[in-house]
Amino acid sequence: MNQRVQVGSTASDNTVAVCRDDDIETDNPTLPSWARLPINRCNLPAVVLGSYTFHRYPSPLVLDGVAELHRHFFGLLAACGNFAERARHLHDYMALSFCLDSPEQAGLSPGMRASRGRLNYLKLIRGWHFNSDSVEGAVLKSWVESRFGLLPRHHKAPIRDFSGEPYRIYLEQRSAGLYNTNALEAQLDLLFAWTQAELARRFPGRMHFRLYRGLNHWEAHEFVGQRARERLVVLNNINSFSTSPERAGEFGDVVIVAEVPLTKVLCSAALMPERLQGEDEVLALGGVYAVRRV
């Protein structure tokens, strides 16, 4: 159950303005209560997967029921030794399972007003890369909130009050983005599971990628600690990173570098070169990160 409490209310201590035991800076700070939900749909709670300890020592993240529902598909991937072929299997399976090439078969009325029946996982990712504060961005942040319990911290403006205008705009845009689409969140579930399986095959034993991110208004971010040259910051619940510091510098006046857990990666353009442009881009879940300025 989502908890929505106005900042400054005296009815509950579950707010940004009130300090609680689990919000106090420690050697391994957890994800503060104002950035997470108490429940989610994966194998680890948000308080764990969003923590600094998980950032340093990540473990696999598994969405509830996805492997079981698509077990034949993942069995096919396990028997395939060719990367390009596994990518084709993903796109073909997505099209077949979610009727992406013929949405009318999924019950869409062709003449329905304001139809978004052709919005799919690829168009969603492309829309995010164009503008992360778009309707597509709201849908992706909503999916992370639902599946992993990480609350969005920014959408067009910082979200610090769940009764405020930025959060209301986020709710409106995620509703508009999900309206009249064909199991769009389930498509993202499958994309995440495929990406995790592919990364495990291509980088066995590896725990992190060193990635870069361009930011504006660096000092306005939510910091929860300091480690030597690194600062511990609560990033938005989903973020774009780049493998290139030069590329990251095109998106902000400050460039940060972080060791991003592979288990937090939703998708990478390098894994789908025929479908996504910009092979430097990586989309990953948020939480507490240790970062430093480049």
The pair phi, psi for residue 190, each rounded to 5°, is -70, -40
pLDDT of residue 289: 98
Q: At 203, is the secondary structure helix, strand, or coil?
A: coil
pLDDT in tens, 55-104: 999 999 999 999 999 999 999 999 998 999 999 999 999 999 998 887 66
Model confidence at 4: pLDDT above 60: no
Spell out the residues 6+ positions from residue 139 whose beta carbon is closer than 8 angstroms to its own.
124, 173, 174, 177, 178, 184
Give the global pTM: 0.87
Q: What is the mean pLDDT of residues 129-138?
A: 94
pLDDT of residue 16: 41
Q: What is the mean pLDDT of residues 277-293?
A: 90
pLDDT in tens, 214-262: 999 999 999 999 988 999 999 999 999 999 999 999 999 999 999 999 9
pLDDT of residue 49: 98
**Rounded-to-integer distance, Cα 6 and Cα 207, Å:** 38
Q: Name the DSSP class of 40.
A: -
Question: How many contiguous H segments (helices) and E segments (strands) does the chain have?
Answer: 10, 8
**What is the torsional sign of CA 221, 124, 38, 227?**
negative
Instruction: Name the residue with tokens 């570098």.
Output: 257
**What is the torsional sign of CA 87, 93, 95, 97?**
negative
pLDDT of residue 12: 38
pLDDT of residue 108: 61
Model confidence at 114: pLDDT above 50: no
**Rounded-to-integer distance, Cα 43 and Cα 64, Å:** 7
pLDDT band for position 118 (cuts 50, 70, 90): low
Token pair recorded at residue 177: 């983005």
The pair phi, psi for residue 72, each rounded to 5°, is -70, -40
pLDDT of residue 22: 43
Q: At 20, is the secondary structure helix, strand, or coil?
A: coil
pLDDT in tens, 165-193: 999 999 999 999 998 788 999 999 999 99
**Rounded-to-integer distance, Cα 131 and Cα 177, Å:** 14
**Rounded-to-integer distance, Cα 126 and Cα 17, Å:** 36
pLDDT in tens, 23-62: 444 567 899 999 999 999 999 999 999 999 999 999 999 9
pLDDT of residue 111: 61
User: What amino acid is encoded at 143 in this protein?
Assistant: W
pLDDT of residue 120: 92
